[in-house]
């Protein structure tokens, strides 16, 4: 259904099933680059179409994580201000799947970064 998409209820059920499959015996945490923005849509759709949100209230903001890890300002967390080694190298398309992959790559790099390195300027 690439051209037409999926019905929201089915799409949200599929997403919840995937979340449950990959987070067996662990609490899932919604993680996004500017989680406060993306959270609005995700939680609305889960509650509107399923009556629940598998993330409950667990979310983590990649920008805030970067800010805390490197002691930068909020402005310093914009992608054009971040140390380039953490960027995904992917073109930012505003396509939901592309955005999710891009954000996952950024967060993985941040998690794997050796804290013994000097923080980015």
Query: Which residues are catalytic, by number?
Result: 94
Would you say the C-alpha torsion 47, 2, 18, 60 has a positive or negative sign? negative
| Buried b or exposed e, range 5-26, using 16+ CB within 10 angstroms | eeeeeeebeebbeeeeeeeeee
**Do the beta carbons of residue 20 and residue 54 sit within 8 Å?**
yes
Quote the CA–CA distance of 28 and 42 in Å, as a whole number: 14
Q: How far out from the chain centre does Cα 27 lie?
A: 15
Q: Which of 46, 56, 55 is nearest to 9 (CA)?
A: 46
């Amino acid at each position: 259904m690439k051209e037409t998409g999926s019905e929201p209820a089915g799409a949200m059920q599929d997403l919840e099933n995937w979340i449950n499959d990959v987070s067996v015996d662990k609490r899932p945490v919604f993680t996004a680059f500017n989680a406060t923005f993306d959270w609005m849509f995700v939680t609305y759709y889960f509650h509107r179409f399923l009556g629940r949100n598998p993330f409950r209230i667990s979310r983590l903001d990649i920008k805030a994580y970067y800010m805390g890890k490197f002691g930068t300002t909020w402005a310093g967390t914009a992608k054009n201000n971040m140390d380039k080694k953490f960027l995904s190298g992917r073109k930012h398309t505003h396509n939901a799947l592309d955005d999710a992959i891009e954000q996952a790559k950024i967060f993985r790099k941040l998690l794997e970064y050796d804290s013994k390195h000097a923080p980015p300027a």
